[in-house]
Amino acid sequence: MKNNKDFIIRKINETDYGMCAKSLMETFKEEPWNEDWTHGQALERIEELMVSRMSLGYVAEYEGVVVGMCIGRIMTCVNFKELWVDEFSVNPSVQGLGVGSRLIQYVKLETEKEGIANMALTTQVGSPAVKFYEKNGFRVGDSVVFMHN
């Protein structure tokens, strides 16, 4: 593969779920996440994310293999709709080739056609993903606090 132009980006379909699970496993076993997903767990996550009628997903594919994905839900706000990205990953074997940036740009263009104003997501503080998302037009919000228990 020479550059990110060799990749196809398209809407996800159910036959992609297994490859998406494999890509998720490979991506998140790396630093800084160090997560040990089984294929069954990763597949279940993909299926859970895609089950809603408001689910929306895209994949980056190279030679018939899914190497990246963006999966989220269309959420209605008072005056607009936005895509809440639940899962975004690019397989480590193709990171640094611009595939992730191209995937984000594709998703932005496609969702704008559907009247979706913007994308929102969360990521781990201090991870390389923060700089990647900032480079691609995301910014840290000043009006939202992420909370968990």
pTM to 2 decimal places: 0.90
**Is residue 94 a contact partner of residue 1, using CB atoms and an 8 Å limit?**
yes
**Is residue 41 a contact partner of residue 24, using CB atoms and an 8 Å limit?**
no
Query: Which position has the token pair 């196809």?
Result: 8
Over residues 64-115, the pLDDT tens digits come to 999 999 999 999 999 999 999 999 999 999 999 999 999 999 999 999 999 9
- At residue 4 the predicted structure's pLDDT band, cuts being 50, 70 and 90, is low
